[in-house]
C-alpha cells in the first residue's frame, strides 16, 4: 500500500488497527506519520487519545499497554511509535499485532531498514497489519515526482526549471517538497514556476549549472563549458565536482543506451531509457555528435576523473582544473 492510499483511506474514515511504515525513503513515512499525528483526531480528541513514543526511549510493555487502552470521549485513539528501528525488544510487539484492539490506530515508523522477512513479526504484520514498504526513487523518477508535487499545489513548472530544481537538490524528497512550498509562497498570484524563479528563490544560476554544462558538452561547445567551470570554481557550492561527475555519467550512460536502441520514434526511445520525452533530443544529439566510440571514451574518462577527484592517482589537482582537463579530453 502506498502513503497516498493510506492517507486517502484515513480521510474517508477507513482505519485498520496497525500500520507498519518501513524502508529507505523517510519522506513517505514522515508524510503518513504527520497526518496520523495531526489529522486523524481533532484537537479536543487528541488531548486524551493521542500517545506518542520514540523507539530509543520506549519500553515495549508501555507501548502495548497504551494500545490496549480504550479511547476517551472519542471513537478511536491513536498510538504512534516513531523511530522504532531504535527500539529494543521490538519483536515483542508481535503479540499485540496478532490481536490488536479495533478502537486503536497503531502506527509504527521503522526507518532506514525493513523487518527480517523470516521473522514471526514480519509474518504477523503481513497477515494482520497494513504494511508500507518504501524505497528511494531512482534518479530518473525524480522529475516526474517533483512535477506531481508541483501540480498538487495547483502550480505548473517549465521543463527546464524542473530539471534545474531536481539537479540542484538531488534525491532528497523532503527538500524538494520544501523548496516547492517556498516557491509557492513567493509566486504570489502567479501559477507557473520559471527558471528565473529557481534562480531567484532557490539560488541556482540558470546559466551556470550542471544542466547547462551538459548542454555545452552535447553541442561540443568548449568555450561555454569552460565558462561554466570557471563559475563553479568561483562558487564552490554551486556545483561541487561530486555532484557534477555522477550527473554527467548518468547522462552519457543513457546516451549509450540510445546508441544501443533499435531505433523507433523519439517517444519510444525516451520510454526505453527511462527519461521524459521532452529531453530526448539532447540524448539523440549527443549520440550523433559523440558516436559509440566517443561515448565509451567519455564514460571511461568520467570514471578516471571521479577517482582523481577523491585523490586516487592525483597529487591534488583542483576540482576546476580536473573538470577543464576532462571536457577537453571528451571533445578532442
Least confident of 30-39, 188-197, 205-214, 256-265: 256-265
Superfamily of domain 3-134: P-loop containing nucleotide triphosphate hydrolases (3.40.50.300)
All three cell numbers of 55: 523507539
All three cell numbers of 316: 591534488
Q: How far apart are CA 107 and CA 80, in angstroms?
A: 5
Coil/strand/helix, residue 57: coil
Find out whether 272 and 261 touch, Cβ atoms under 8 Å: yes
Q: Cell numbers 516526474 correspond to what residue?
A: 144
Is the model more confident about 236 or about 53?
A: 53
Q: How far apart are CA 172 and CA 25, in angstroms?
A: 9
Name the architecture of domain 210-331.
Up-down Bundle (1.20)
Strands 104-111 and 130-134: unpaired
Its pTM surpasses 0.75: yes
Please write the tens of the pLDDT for every residue from 178-223: 999 999 999 989 999 999 999 999 988 889 999 999 999 999 999 9
Q: How far apart are CA 23 and CA 29, in angstroms?
A: 8
Collect all residues with Cβ–Cβ distance below 8 Å to 152 and sequence separation of at least 6.
Answer: none
Q: How far apart are CA 312 and CA 214, in angstroms?
A: 25
Q: How far apart are CA 111 and CA 114, in angstroms?
A: 8
Q: Which of 82, 83, 81, 79 is nearest to 46 (CA)?
A: 79
Confidence class of residue 284 from pLDDT cuts 50, 70 and 90?
very high
How far does the chain reach from its first CA to its final CA, in angstroms? 51
Q: Where are the alpha helices (DSSP H) in the chain?
A: 3-11, 26-39, 43-49, 60-68, 94-98, 120-128, 142-152, 159-169, 173-187, 195-197, 210-218, 222-234, 241-260, 266-273, 280-309, 319-331
Please write the tens of the pLDDT for every residue from 62-118: 999 999 999 999 999 999 999 999 999 999 999 999 999 999 999 999 998 888 888
Collect all residues with Cβ–Cβ distance below 8 Å to 100 and sequence separation of at least 6.
Answer: 17, 18, 67, 106, 128
C-alpha radius of gyration, the chain, whole number: 25
Average pLDDT, the chain: 93
What are the domain boundaries of the chain? 3-134, 139-202, 210-331
Q: How far apart are CA 188 and CA 205, in angstroms?
A: 22
Topology at the third CATH level for domain 139-202: Helicase, Ruva Protein; domain 3 (1.10.8)
Amino acid at each position: 500500500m502506498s502513503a497516498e492510499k493510506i492517507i486517502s483511506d484515513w480521510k474517508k474514515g477507513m482505519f485498520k488497527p496497525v500500520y507498519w511504515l518501513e524502508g529507505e525513503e523517510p519522506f513517505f513515512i514522515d508524510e503518513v506519520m504527520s497526518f496520523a499525528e495531526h489529522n486523524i483526531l481533532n484537537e479536543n480528541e487528541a488531548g486524551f487519545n493521542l500517545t506518542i513514543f520514540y523507539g530509543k526511549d520506549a519500553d515495549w510493555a508501555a507501548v502495548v499497554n497504551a494500545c490496549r487502552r480504550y479511547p476517551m470521549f472519542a471513537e478511536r485513539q491513536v498510538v504512534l511509535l516513531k523511530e522504532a528501528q531504535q527500539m529494543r525488544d521490538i519483536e515483542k510487539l508481535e503479540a499485540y499485532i496478532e490481536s490488536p484492539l479495533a478502537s486503536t490506530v497503531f502506527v509504527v515508523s521503522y526507518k532506514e531498514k525493513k523487518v527480517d522477512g523470516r521473522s514471526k513479526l514480519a509474518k504477523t504484520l503481513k497477515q494482520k497489519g497494513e504494511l508500507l514498504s518504501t524505497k528511494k526513487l531512482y534518479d530518473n523518477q525524480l522529475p516526474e515526482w517533483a512535477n506531481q508535487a508541483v501540480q498538487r499545489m495547483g502550480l505548473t513548472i517549465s521543463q527546464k526549471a524542473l530539471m534545474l530544481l531536481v539537479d540542484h537538490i538531488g534525491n532528497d524528497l523532503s527538500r524538494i517538497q520544501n523548496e516547492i512550498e517556498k516557491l509557492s509562497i513567493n509566486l504570489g498570484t502567479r501559477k507557473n514556476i520559471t527558471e528565473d524563479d529557481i534562480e531567484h528563490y532557490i539560488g541556482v544560476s540558470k546559466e551556470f549549472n550542471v544542466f547547462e554544462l551538459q548542454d555545452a558538452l552535447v553541442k561540443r561547445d568548449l568555450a561555454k563549458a569552460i565558462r561554466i567551470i570557471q563559475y563553479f570554481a568561483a562558487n564552490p557550492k554551486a556545483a561541487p565536482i561530486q555532484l557534477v561527475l555522477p550527473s554527467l555519467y548518468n547522462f552519457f550512460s543513457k546516451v549509450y543506451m540510445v546508441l544501443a536502441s533499435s531505433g523507433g520514434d523519439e517517444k519510444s526511445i525516451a520510454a526505453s531509457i527511462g527519461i521524459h520525452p521532452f529531453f530526448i533530443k539532447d540524448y539523440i544529439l549527443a549520440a550523433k555528435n559523440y558516436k559509440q566510440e566517443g561515448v565509451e571514451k567519455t564514460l571511461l574518462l568520467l570514471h578516471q576523473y571521479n577517482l582523481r577527484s577523491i585523490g586516487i592517482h592525483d597529487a591534488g589537482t583542483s576540482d576546476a582544473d580536473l573538470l577543464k582537463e576532462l571536457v577537453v579530453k571528451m571533445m578532442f
